[in-house]
Structure 1
């Protein structure tokens, strides 16, 4: 399965510019032969949280229309990172997934909000898992700070996810945590991790990429540099079964003790 990671320099607080850039990059990914295109977190607005009333995507309609149109036209799946959305009178950090028929098959609101970036003052917490199927393969998606909660990745894995997508705006000051945690989540769950970060800066943080694709054995198949890029990575889903036969951790779990 060929997956394109789109490592973006997000224009702070400028949805129109970011929508144009995302369409350009998705088209580039499709031209490279991608089956799935993956975007970073909050790509429509960045963390311009004080202006959400003005710039958040109302009911996610602009994002859903873009993904549906591009997925159907280009015959690709889009794991849409996340965008700031306004639903009713509340705001969310939301991931949408579209399949190659142009259908929105998943909508996930970030469950763990990071106080270091003031998310809890502006966004509502999500309360649902994010599981979906693309080309017959069970997958899941979480967002940025969700990565620091190992039980959240594990519950998706126990529910069948073989590939986990993790879009982020992870600051360079904590990038070592990002890399270690991603590799740990892949090894302990014996799944593929597809993690897409951004580059550039906003008034409060700088970002240096280091998007990663990691195998269920923990091998780093690709790591992004500190620049905007579209990178195609080919993964072999059959590796998961091989790794789980070699080290059968799911057979050896003692779930009765984990409460």
Structure 2
């Protein structure tokens, strides 16, 4: 068991009155029955959303951090400091500081998703763009600030970095109680993490701070009154649940990058020559199903192109290779996404071609006559083989006379 003792301050917040809000925190902490490993405060606990004076509040950040420093050292605990206004030049951020037990700052998280349209938060603050990871008693955790929980990508990003706990400082208001409960449970279940959420109370705010298990079970739920919350969770439960079924490992990143969050692709292929023949595979899917082409595919995340080319050839044909030189570059723009395809001349290191039986149905070394006259071979594969057979060594040149699928298609040989 890896215990983590959490203390949360569910409090009313007096707009613009820093001293009064500090007094509330200190008064509630007097009720503590055990030293916490992690102390959590709600969003904008220091002055509330005092928009008219937000710039001023951000400029006295040192005073706020001094109070958090005092709490961290006095209780010898990690502090997830809710959030406070922070200025950086002309920009304002809704920022969460996390402090170590000695009062030093671990890191900070700037709220990424701001309530906009008819709400002043989006007009007042700038968005953060980084998801840091923090530690409390060797338990890795992250921060999703209030409205952030509406966006599953935030907590997914936290979990993908190895977090076992997502902390949520918030000022969720009364019309959104059902939303609050539903989103928190969903974020816990889909990422298989604990969620500890601390909300404010007071006029128009409902409190109901809570602790939720990696399976979405409500472990603790407060009422709508000011109170100190103490709870001990077993962080090892995260890995026990993931050992049974780890949802995040089933994510199809390639599909998401193409259809949900379009990003540029890098594909690789290889030309392998053996005794005057060239290695080809027969495609088993898509619009060119049944055609022969060079073996290849898209890079894995973080993979070097020349390494990816050798891997793809091995996976598709069982032939061992290594990259020698870049032969061709093809760029294609589709729906605002650029698919860039790099083709390498590969050194043949042996192995007989065997189709993978999934992406291709046949794998073989084809003669030039088979490639150009006898078999259905893609124009791109033919163009690359033709260039190699010509012996030209004039660098990569834009092929203006190549048969294109669209105006956004470019081939360099």
Conserved 8 A contact 2:196-2:211: yes
Match of 2:26 among 5, 23, 28: 23
Q: Does 1:4 align with 2:22?
A: no
Partner of 1:111: 112
Separation in 2 of the partners of 1:35 and 1:27?
A: 16
Q: After TM superposition, list the pairs within 5 Å mapping 1:75-90 onto structure 2.
A: 75-90=76-91
Question: More helix per residue: 1 or 2?
Answer: 1
SS in 2 for 1:117: coil
**Offset of residue 225 of structure 1:** 0.4
**Offset of residue 247 of structure 1:** 2.1
**Offset of residue 26 of structure 1:** 4.0
Moved more, 33-42 or 191-200: 33-42
Conserved 8 A contact 2:58-2:92: no
Conserved 8 A contact 1:59-1:87: no
Q: After TM superposition, list the pairs within 5 Å mapping 1:239-254 onto structure 2.
A: 239-254=237-252
SS in 2 for 1:130: coil
Separation in 2 of the partners of 1:188 and 1:108?
A: 22
Separation in 1 of the partners of 2:103 and 2:26?
A: 15
Please say which structure displays the higher CA radius of gyration. 2
Q: Aligned in 2, Cα 1:44/1:64: closer, same or farther, shift over 3 Å?
A: same
Separation in 2 of the partners of 1:21 and 1:176?
A: 28
Q: After TM superposition, list the pairs within 5 Å mapping 1:151-230 onto structure 2.
A: 151-201=153-203, 206-230=204-228
Partner of 2:309: none
Q: Does 1:97 align with 2:98?
A: yes
Partner of 1:238: 236
- TM-score, normalised with respect to structure 1: 0.92
**Offset of residue 59 of structure 1:** 5.9
- Tell me the matched-pair count: 253
Separation in 2 of the partners of 1:86 and 1:256?
A: 38
Moved more, 20-29 or 187-196: 20-29
**Structure of greater relative contact order (alpha carbons < 8 Å, 6+ residues apart):** 1
- TM-score, normalised with respect to structure 2: 0.59
**Offset of residue 27 of structure 1:** 4.9
Conserved 8 A contact 2:36-2:75: no
Separation in 2 of the partners of 1:185 and 1:232?
A: 22
Q: After TM superposition, list the pairs within 5 Å mapping 1:125-164 onto structure 2.
A: 125-164=127-166
Moved more, 108-117 or 160-169: 108-117
SS in 2 for 1:127: coil
Question: More strand per residue: 1 or 2?
Answer: 2
Query: Residues 123-175 of structure 1: CA distance to partner in whole angstroms, max 9, x if unpaired?
Result: 11111113112222211012101110101110111111111101000011011
Q: Aligned in 2, Cα 1:20/1:57: closer, same or farther, shift over 3 Å?
A: farther
